[in-house]
Structure 1
Amino acid sequence: MVSFGQSSGVPDPVSLPALQAKSLFLTRPTLFHYTVTQDELLETAGDVFANVASGVLRVRVNHTYSLSEAAQAHADLENRRTSGSVVLIP
């Protein structure tokens, strides 16, 4: 089981015996467990952007708003009417 982000709040408690029964484990990684220095962070970011540029990774944009709709975009985010990426278009 992997938990990332917490836009819905802190995750509910998990029963360790329930995980143990099936040899399952829980992880909640953060970027800074994998990159320590700024150079490592820049290298990792460069790898991600290169993979996006080459098509290995695809960026899915779920919602777009014109810049004039920025207030509506913020309202939708605050009221949890969005999921995934939200992009303002100038």
Structure 2
Amino acid sequence: MSKKQKKASAYWKENVRYLFILLLIWFAVSFGAGVLFKESLDAIKIGGFKLGFWFAQQGSIYVFVILIFVYVRLMNKLDKKYGYDE
């Protein structure tokens, strides 16, 4: 395996690791807060709505958008690390 292929392989391994971690966070927020922990979160109100309901309807979307920006930042750093920033 050439040095270029090893570099590309390491790049994609790190990229997939980032994707897995970020999607795991999103799953935990959307499914965990919106479904699993809904009852306990409903004791807290935000803007007049129960927190469990808010996470199920809005919170997971906001977290997903934030995670997109985090992914872009991580990928920019990763591109620079492996020399793919053009």
TM-score by length of 1: 0.20
The structure with the greater share of residues assigned to helix is 2
The structure with the greater share of residues assigned to strand is 1
Q: Structure with the greater relative contact order (CA < 8 A, sep ≥ 6): 1 or 2? A: 2
